[in-house]
Amino acid sequence: MKFLKNVFVVVASAMVSASPYSLPAQNVDATMLLKPPADSWPSYHGDYSGKRHSKLTQITPQNVNRLTLAWAFQTEHTATIKSSPILVDGILYFTLPDNLWAVDARSGQQLWHYTYPPNKGDHIGQRGVAIYKDWIYFTSPDAHLISLNAKDGTVRWIVQIADVEKGYWTTMAPLIVGNHVIVGVGGDMDNLQTFIRSVDPETGKTQWQWDVTPPAGTPNTATGGTTWMAGTYDPDLNLIYWGTGNPTPVLTGSTRPGDNLYTGSIVALNPDTGKLVWAFQPSPHDTHDWDAVETPVLVDGVFHGQQRKMLMQASRNGYFFVLDRTNGKNLLTVPFGPVNWTLGVDKKGQPIPNPAKEPAPDGRLIAPDEGGLTNFRSPSFDPHTGLFIVDAHPSWSIYFAKPADGTYGWAGADYGLWGKGVIEAIDYQTGKIRWSHEVGPGGSGSGVLTTDSGLTFTGDAHGNFLALDTANGKTLWHAGSGGSIASSPITYELDGQQYLLTSGGGVLFAWKLSDTSR
Amino acid sequence: MKRFLNAVLVAGVGFLVFHATLVPVYAASGDGRSQAAQSPSGAAPDKQGAESYANHCAICHGEQREGILPAFPPLVGIKRQLTDQQITDLVHKGKGRMPGFPKLQDDELTALERYLASPGLSAPEMASGASDNSSGAHSSGLAEAGGALFHQNCAFCHGRDTMGGETGPDLTRSKLVQADVAGDKISEVVRDGRPEKKMPAFNFSSQELLSLSAFIHAQATKAASMKGGRRGVDASDLQTGNVAMGKQYFNGAGTCAKCHSPTGDLAGIATRYEGLQLEERMLYPRGAKSHVTVTLPSGQKLTGTVAYLDEFVVGMRDADGTYRSWPVSRVKYVVDSPVNAHVDLFSKYTDADIHNLMAYLQTLR
């Protein structure tokens, strides 16, 4: 009997200590998403405002030069990480296409790794996961939504978002609002109708869907307007703000005259019904593959002497927009780098595309290039300085389209000639660039994070992580990652220690101050 | 004490048996780095081969043999590239970054090799009927069979639709493919590989090569009609400029003559580059070198070409080809980038200027 009892004791303790299943509960609920505690980063943007600005002040301009490596996690994949990790209850979750890792944020050791099977979807990138209660929501290249148990990565269900055979793919981190899991799609190599969809977090069943354009095949209208980045949310107004992508066919507008609503737009939807409340179009009748999916940053503040609820976007097409987010009215439209494709700005504050700069058979010189004056990596808004800080990419390119290219999918060709990276700190009330920090030829690719202590974290074109003084852009700390940076930094506090998380290539790096390490 | 140790032993065996099950595809793989326990004896050879693969090979070559490009090649269809003996040698001795597994022998080795010969997870049925087809009457069947082969062996690099992947070019715009007749040129490349470009050689039969070529040609035809990918630019598209006006711009407002000469550095430029490539280089010549003069704390000046430059380090190659670098804080340096004149012109060109310049440059043969 004692023998069996010993067996039981040994087995039980072995199960508890050696089993990967004995993890603390993840219990992300609406309250946590509304007011993320300091020891969390529970969603792609960190919070619903998209400011990517942290209240943590342990790391300061005075001590940041003591930032040291706490640990690195090597995915051992050659793909470059594009995801923002999320941190809940001491566990980090981050992704590459088809891959999801759960890592202990204290040790940097892997807890589990989920691999989605090989599939036909476009493996262009993966922005990260969403978490709600005990469940993780992960999108696949072949346009499926997978719900996994956060404790051990076992799959609860997989639902199809769209048909990969038609040309759809998904890359985005879903946005959780209330009991809605909100997803969008990619796919501009085909003339596809795209959408924003809300699904039930328990079952994955569709709750509502908002279509960006009329159905494919409607005469003289665009398709496209992919919805491939997570939006932001105002709980008081109960509105989600979502950017839409470029129209299809991409480089030719001959079959889609007019503004091509709601492609290249920022739309405000009711998250419970999916109804459109207002829309603003940063890129009317786009013919250069310029999405308007860049983070719609929500800021409450003074604009020209008046308190305003604002929405700010540094858009791919080269313009910085400030809107009143209650009604979509334009407050400011200013370029934040070289642009040469407009005839000016109309009464609504929307750029007027110059027909002479649409892609042509013998080519048109265009600024910026197809990658845009900025792209999906996050900007940051620092409330203390009123600076909107963005990774900008001044660039030039040539765009071609001829009748033989047809009117399907890309329908043309574009070639980047030259570009560089500049971190720009934009005064949101005027659009003036208060300081800029060159980050190298080709362009940086790192997003931006700011903190209350006056630090700006970003990176350069050579894979260096940078800490800058938010007041003047001067470099205070750097570390070389040895890889290209294509993600936005996050920060959180754990055990009284502030961590900064960055990625270079396929490696995730965790940084903290050295005088408390051992 | 002895009873307790027995208890541990019983518990331990039970624990190992509990963890011996294969992980199904849709589930998480636990700690991917740990060695899975030996399966109970008597497991079927296919399962043993799959387990052996999962234990020894999957970490580099992917759980579905899909590889991790560009460093770790896919193994689906590896029997096309290597004989059994070659595979055995590779497994035992390793190669380059791949370690050897000299202890992998006998039953396990046989099972592993049988597993490696099995088709990949997501590949469509291998069309064994391909060898029965006469090439004329069943050409669409031939292309379909070629498609299956292509997906398994070529798609990782060249894309599923042959329009290019991460490490392989777009075959639909390939001059070699366009010149190919019934696989005569394509077969050579597939059989020999392109080792200097990291394309392996493939041991396909003549019929299989025919089917592959049929598929590639079908894709090229498809690409020319209703398809969504990027299109191309032909030299004939770029002939809308005026030579005289281009020459005037070259010597005048374009300021090109300050650095360039039609009889000097640009003599014969249009025989070296044509079409889109010429126009791109005209607007911005990638790879143009910048010069740097570095002043050391001693006052000594060194000159060379810029080999690396960020905020923190300046790296230079001198005339001998020696590379030297310094922390930026310890030296003074001045960079001279003549190529920046091209960047300054971007905001000044009209599109007509560009087309005229192009017309003029194309006369410099």
Contacts of B122 in chain A (CB under 8 A): 117-119
pLDDT of residue A22: 31
**Average pLDDT value for chain A:** 93
Of all residues in chain A, the percent with pLDDT exceeding 70 is: 94
Chain B: residue whose CA lies nearest to A418: B284
B45 or B160: which leads in pLDDT = B160
Residue boundaries of the structural domains of chain B: 2-117, 138-224, 237-286+342-361, 291-337
Q: For the ranges A54-63, A128-137, B84-93, B240-249, which has the lowest average pLDDT?
A: B84-93
A 213-242 near B (Cβ less than 8 A): none
Q: Which residues of A touch B8 (CB under 8 A)?
A: 6, 10
Least reliable range by pLDDT among A99-113, A118-132, B147-161: B147-161
In the chain, the amino acid numbered A3 is F
For chain B, say whether A398 makes contact (Cβ under 8 Å): yes
Could you tell me which of A241, A291, A232 has the C-alpha nearest to residue A263? A291
Task: Identify the pLDDT of residue A128.
Answer: 97
Touching B: A residues 40-69, CB under 8 Å: none
C-alpha span between B128 and B208 (Å, rounded)? 10
> Most B CBs within 10 Å: which of A112, A362, A399, A468, as the mutation test of the B interface?
A362
Instruction: Indicate yes or no: CB of A76 within 8 angstroms of CB of B28.
Output: no
Distance (Å) from the alpha carbon of B78 to chain A's nearest alpha carbon: 18
Q: Mutate which of A11, A15, A169 to test chain B, going by most B C-beta atoms within 10 A? A: A11
Note whether A463 contacts B: Cβ–Cβ < 8 A. no
Tell me which H or E stretch contains B158. Answer: helix B155-158
Nearest to A102 by CA among A129, A68, A140, A70: A129
- Chain B: residue nearest A438 by CA? B311
* CATH topology match: B2-117 vs B138-224: yes
Tokens of A81: 């990480």
- Res. B149 pLDDT band, cuts 50 70 90: confident
Question: Could you name the CATH architecture of B2-117?
Answer: Orthogonal Bundle (1.10)
* Nearest chain B residue to A158, by CA: B26
- pLDDT, average across residues A289-300: 97
Predicted complex ipTM:
0.89
Whether A152 is catalytic is no
Q: Predicted confidence band at A25 (pLDDT cuts at 50, 70, 90)?
A: very low
Q: Which chain B residues are closer than 8 Å to A22 by Cβ?
A: none
- Comparing B277 with B30, which gets the higher pLDDT? B277
Return the ∠ at Cα A498 (arms to A497 and A500), rounded to 5°. Answer: 140
A10, A11, A409: residue with CB nearest B227: A409
Considering only the beta carbons, identify the residue of B8, B30, B239 that sits closest to A112. Answer: B30
Average pLDDT of the residues in B303-332: 97
- For the four alpha carbons of A242, A247, A253 and A257, in that order, the dihedral sign comes to negative
User: Could you please report the per-residue DSSP string of A415-481?
Assistant: EEEEEEEEEEEEETTT--EEEEEEEEES------EEETTTEEEEE-TTSEEEEEETTT--EEEEEE-
The more confident residue out of B280 and B25 is B280
Nearest to A3 among B7, B279, B355 (CB): B7
The rounded distance, in Å, linking the Cα atoms of A333 and A284 is 14
Q: Which helix (H) or strand (E) segment is A300 a member of?
A: strand A297-303
For the cut 90, the answer to whether the pLDDT of residue A460 exceeds it is: yes
How do beta strands A497-504 and A490-494 pair? antiparallel
Query: Among all residues of chain B, which has the CA nearest to that of A412?
Result: B231
Q: What is the pLDDT of residue B59?
A: 78
Share of chain B above pLDDT 90, in %: 38
Q: What is the mean pLDDT of chain B?
A: 79
Residue A26: pLDDT over 70: no
| Cross-chain Cβ contact B31/A110 below 8 Å | yes
Do B317 and B304 meet the contact criterion of CB atoms below 8 Å apart?
Answer: yes
Distance CA B44, CA B30 (A): 24
CA-CA distance, B61 to B28, in Å (whole number)? 18
Statement: residue B14 has pLDDT above 70: no
Q: Is the pLDDT of residue B29 over 70?
A: no
Residues of B in contact with A112 (CB under 8 A): 28-31
What pLDDT sits at residue B131? 35
Name the nearest CA neighbour of A426 among A369, A473, A360, A487.
A473
Q: What pLDDT score does A160 carry?
A: 97
User: Which helix (DSSP H) or strand (DSSP E) does residue A104 occupy?
Assistant: strand A99-104
pLDDT at site A3? 58
Chain A, nearest residue to B59 by Cα? A76
- In this prediction, residue B194 has a pLDDT band, given cuts at 50, 70 and 90, of confident
- CB contact at 8 A, B54 and B43: no
Contact B311 A415 (CB under 8 A): no
Cross-chain CB nearest to A462 (options B30, B59, B310): B310
HSE-up (13 A, CA, CB side) for residue B272: 9
Confidence of residue B160 (pLDDT cuts 50, 70, 90): low
Amino acid at A74: Q
Give the closest residue to A288 by CA, choosing from A185, A388, A373, A167: A373
Instruction: Please tell me the least confidently modeled range out of A31-45, A234-248, B145-159.
Output: B145-159
Which residues of A are less than 8 Å from B233 in CB distance?
363, 400, 413, 415
3-state secondary structure A275-295: CEEEEECCCCCCCCCCCCCCC
Which of B27, B232, B283 faces A417 most closely, judged by CB atoms?
Answer: B283
Question: B32 pLDDT exceeds 60?
Answer: no
The phi, psi pair for A168, rounded to 5°, reads -80, 150
Q: Which residue has the higher pLDDT, A25 or B295?
A: B295
- Amino acid (1-letter code) at residue B31: D
CB-CB neighbors (< 8 A) of B3 in chain A? 2-3, 6
Considering CB atoms only, which of B59, B237, B310 is closest to A400? B237
pLDDT at B133: 34
CB pairs A-B closer than 8 Å:
163
Check residues B145 and A252 and name the one with the higher pLDDT.
Answer: A252
- Is the pLDDT at A437 greater than 70? The verdict is yes
Assess whether pLDDT exceeds 50 at residue B18: no
Select the more confidently predicted residue: B103 or B18: B103
Q: Which of A7, A77, A158 is closest, CB to CB, to B7? A: A7
Task: Give the CATH fold of the B138-224 domain.
Answer: Cytochrome Bc1 Complex; Chain D, domain 2 (1.10.760)
Residues of A in contact with B346 (CB under 8 A): 338, 365, 367, 396, 417-418
Give the position of tokens 């075959």.
Answer: B171
Q: φ and ψ at A183, to 5 degrees? A: -130, 160
A364 touches chain B (CB under 8 A): yes
A10 interfaces chain B, CB cutoff of 8 Å: yes
**Chain A interface disruption, residue of B3, B5, B10, B233, most A CBs within 10 A:** B233
Which pLDDT does position B1 carry in this prediction?
59
Q: What is the pLDDT of residues A378-411, one digit of tens each?
A: 999 999 999 999 999 999 999 999 988 889 888 8
Over residues A185-196, the mean pLDDT reads 92
In a 3-state reduction of DSSP, which class is residue A512? strand
Give the torsion sign (CA, A474, A478, A481, A486). Answer: negative
Return the DSSP state at B203.
-
Per-residue pLDDT at B39: 36
pLDDT of res. B31? 37
By the 10 Å C-beta count (0-12 exposed, 13-18 middle, 19+ buried), B213 is classed as buried
Active-site choice (A234, A289, A291, A369): A289
Least confident of A120-129, A396-405, A469-478, B55-64: B55-64
